Structure 1
């Protein structure tokens, strides 16, 4: 009997050694499996799966601690079906028992988790859980997150050996997470560098500004995994920003949206000249521009396009889905460098366009000088020669023809002089010409309308339109934009200003509620009288798809005697 007992004890010890050997092998396999991955999301998934498998837990979770050090920014689970997760609702934020391991980053092992003083209980539809094991995961000197395991199979409690195994796994997990983050950072840096090179090449090769802005937004959206990317620029004549380009959900609706500098995330970044982040874009108090359209978006960052506060470059806004992690400091640094490089590329492209414009103006000035000094003088000399020759011609018909030729030369000289004036007058387009005045008025109207109107201009507005008619046209434009802001309730307004050979035509369209059958018409009556006084017309139309079309036209020089 003693021999049987000794044999049984020996067999039990052999089985224990075998169990320990198998567990060590499993731990080594788990360490190798976790360390093999370089994608951070896959590393985190492997850690929680390996932890649940090693201690035979029914449920496992890994919570990533957010930037504030108090709450969870990510929560990955094992053992719960997608339907269960959907019924439970919002994922834990790190309060209660889960927060206990955050506040005290040491292993925590419980026989009954509901008996702990920090336990808040479970939400509706949450499966019951009893035993608990929580272990922090450290990356270098930083607590990256916590590994939570509950309900060991067969109703057993977690023991010291389980705690030791999970603690060992957490050390390997910290190394694997660090490697994955380093690899992810290097890959992201390469993508930022490639994006910067692509944008610079695009701008310096002559790509139009809208295409360059879209390239900036799309590359930033792809690299950061954002759902939404907005590029907002300062609105001329106001203290507001306007969304010049939007990529993502509701992009077409957001394009042209006016965002106040005060009380918005983009405005805060624009004023401060540094990135501004939020955990939830839809609920953040700083985001006032169109937040009601972005209820599904969560973490966001606004980055100024430039290094100085309020330097006029604009702002890049990026927002992720509500379930995605917040923007970390490691992501903000390359993002800020990217935004600075993009702003520099935009400025270089603008300087290059300015240089091309100067070269064009200089060439026009040279052509004007050559026309004046060479062509006009030679034509004038030819005309004088013909006039002298006409006196010597005895045949009446021939003398008349020579006279007509001299008159034609005089008319040609006038045309050339008018052309010279037109070439040189283009230098004043940035000054107080009709083009500049119209652009300024449309920019200022964006604040009252809530969105910047679309403006198109054609023809020689600064040279062919007389000062008197230009003043009347500006008064009409101001009145029409004011009416659109006060009465139309439109979300889209278009302005067209065109100078033909005979008249100037101002057209303002909107998609508002149209012209009411009854209402004050004094402003429209004034516009009609102003047009008639110049010899022109004013008409109001209502398209079949809604809105209104208002057309004000007048001769280039106005009616005689006005």
Structure 2
């Protein structure tokens, strides 16, 4: 590759990396760009956690089947540990002959020539970029320089992506706090007044019926106000994404976000045609969110899939996981653990049904079927 072509490809790679806002997308783009830029068989990027493992470990050049066969994420050992504690790049003709090399699982691809460059922000190592098995000879000093440039831009993009996601989390926190204040200032105060007025009415029932009737009218007025104000707050809680982009895109973004922040793979499949009413969209979203929460927090699942499709009665949303499952013959325990009662109540409000299929060790499938509205 001539110098002009190399610069063009490097520029394309840098622009691709800088284009994304989510951490997961940035990592995946860095790995793909590095592998393409230096024409090698394998590329990986590891972001360490503080427990001796990796918060993120992204690979390119390994199929999903191979990755599943390799097993759990690697720990910080051998060359991986060296790359996470040493600012110097590592360029080796054969990684297996290096004294720091330990081992790899039986299903792991065989790596020979190796190039590793840290991704740094000042004195902090954010991660490390690894390449192996260059197709046209061993890695050169020029390759090392190119990868260092890409790593420098990757550090900026990764830092920006983290700041963006932290900003989103802060926005969500502030919104929750605002809603809490609204509930306290508006509805809670009305309910407090309702309680006092009810006590007053009870006291006047026998000795002054006319005064008791006046108090009861005040109770009706306060209850109506509280109902109206609560309805307004609930309306504001409707996710803005539903109004802006619709159910399919909102669920796609939810799944993508959860896939980035959890070890489990979260997939989304949409086969839905036509439109839904706002009420139905919100029910489907809330039930899907609750089922996803259960699968990721309680089921120890490695793969969770959300599928949205047309159904006989209207719309079917299925959330399936390969987690621990549970005994459906013990409904009380299941309801308490998974919040099935609230999900079923949501479905009932829009004329739908919710069913759960599960068995110990066999995963869980939650199926919501609702009319289009």
Normalized against structure 1, the TM-score is what? 0.38
Ranked by relative contact order (alpha carbons within 8 Å, sequence separation 6 or more), the top structure is: 2
Structure 1 position 334 matched with structure 2 position 146: yes
Structure 1 position 270 matched with structure 2 position 84: yes
The Cα shift of 1:335 comes to 1.0
- Asked whether the 8 Å contact 2:186–2:229 carries over to 1, the reply is no
SS at match of 1:244: strand
Of residues 477, 499, 509 in structure 1, which corresponds to 2:322? 509
- Asked whether the 8 Å contact 2:129–2:151 carries over to 1, the reply is yes
- Matches of 1:335 and 1:194 in 2, distance apart? 14
**CA RMSD of superposed structures (Å):** 5.5
Q: Highest CA radius of gyration, 1 or 2?
A: 1
CA, structure 1 residues 249+533, in 2 after alignment: closer, same or farther (shift >3 Å)? closer
- Matches of 1:330 and 1:533 in 2, distance apart? 60
CA, structure 1 residues 238+367, in 2 after alignment: closer, same or farther (shift >3 Å)? closer
CA deviation map 1:522-553 (0-9, x unaligned): xx99xx99x8699779x9738xxxxx4256xx
Structure 1 unaligned residues grouped into runs of 5+: 1-38, 40-182, 423-438, 444-451, 466-472, 482-491, 497-506, 516-523, 543-547, 552-562
Aligned counterpart, 1:493: 302
Structure 1 position 229 matched with structure 2 position 47: no
Of residues 408, 412, 429 in structure 1, which corresponds to 2:223? 408
Aligned counterpart, 1:305: 119
SS at match of 1:293: coil
Of residues 131, 141, 163 in structure 2, which corresponds to 1:318? 131
CA, structure 1 residues 273+409, in 2 after alignment: closer, same or farther (shift >3 Å)? farther
Aligned counterpart, 1:359: 171
- Matches of 1:349 and 1:243 in 2, distance apart? 14
SS at match of 2:40: coil
CA deviation map 1:65-92 (0-9, x unaligned): xxxxxxxxxxxxxxxxxxxxxxxxxxxx
Aligned counterpart, 2:17: 199
SS at match of 1:327: coil
The Cα shift of 1:342 comes to 0.8
Q: How does 1:132-171 map to 2 (within 5 A)?
A: none
Q: How does 1:355-434 map to 2 (within 5 A)?
A: 355-373=167-185, 377=189, 394=210, 402=217, 405=220, 408=223, 412=227
Normalized against structure 2, the TM-score is what? 0.54
- Asked whether the 8 Å contact 1:379–1:413 carries over to 2, the reply is no
CA deviation map 1:174-204 (0-9, x unaligned): xxxxxxxxx52x542443233223322x22x
The Cα shift of 1:394 comes to 4.8
The Cα shift of 1:282 comes to 6.3
Of residues 342, 348, 354 in structure 1, which corresponds to 2:160? 348
Structure 2 unaligned residues grouped into runs of 5+: 238-257, 268-287, 306-319, 339-356, 365-373
- Matches of 1:382 and 1:369 in 2, distance apart? 19
